[in-house]
Amino acid sequence: MANSELIQVESFTGKYFINEAYRPVAAALVKKYKEINHIIVGEILFIEDTEGKKKKNGQTVLAQIGLIPEKWDDVIYQLTGKRFGYMMEIYKNNIYSMSREQVFALIYHELRHIGAEGKLVNHDIEDWVNMVEKLGVDWNTTRASIPNLLDEDVDWESITGPATLFPAESTLRVVK
């Protein structure tokens, strides 16, 4: 007989922690933004790495999303009665100093990796430009002050983002 809820152990002190606090944020983002409204949030298992400080190519990794291997999906199903196709892993030590708004933007960013066909989509130039254009180069650092993507009056298309180094109205001129 499968459990109706995810198994929860009192006083769990392991490295990987199932953290359901991210689910309502993801659900609200999916409901609000059309570019990710194809995502079924119930298919995502939210895991926090409580000890790791992952880096890749010298860059700090804040979070990542991936497919759950079939065998682990079967094991989870046998234990809980729930199926998850994806796992969003958040590195707690790497996001410790992020603001609430930055965490919301991080979850939005990770959700964008789930394509309309359910396949994972890698980072690309368009994705990078989209985040930087709307939220600024430092959107994920403590130096950034970004809009709350879940505020009622904020929508992705209306975010103008910070001024760029070379505004559109500036031109280069040859000086002799």
Say how many domains are in the chain: 1
Domain-located, residue 22: yes
For residues 144 and 102, the model is more confident at 102
Question: Which of the four pLDDT bands, split at 50, 70 and 90, describes residue 128?
Answer: low
Asked whether residue 167 carries a pLDDT value surpassing 70, the answer given is: no
- Asked if the structure places residue 170 within a domain, the reply is no
Q: Region 115-127: what's the mean pLDDT?
A: 79
In a domain, 24, yes or no: yes
pTM for this model (two decimals): 0.81
Residue 163 lies in a domain: no
Q: Is residue 168 part of a domain?
A: no
Residue 101 falls within a domain, yes or no?
A: yes
Region 156-163: mean pLDDT is 72
Q: What is the pLDDT of residue 2?
A: 44
Whether residue 48 lies inside any domain: the answer is: yes
Q: Is residue 170 scored above 50 in pLDDT?
A: no
Residue 118's domain comprises 16-158
**Which residues neighbour 88 within 8 Å (Cβ) at sequence distance 6 or greater?**
22, 26, 44, 45, 46, 47, 63, 64, 65, 107, 110
Q: Does 171 map to a domain? A: no
Q: State which of 21-30, 151-160, 166-175 shows the largest mean pLDDT.
A: 21-30
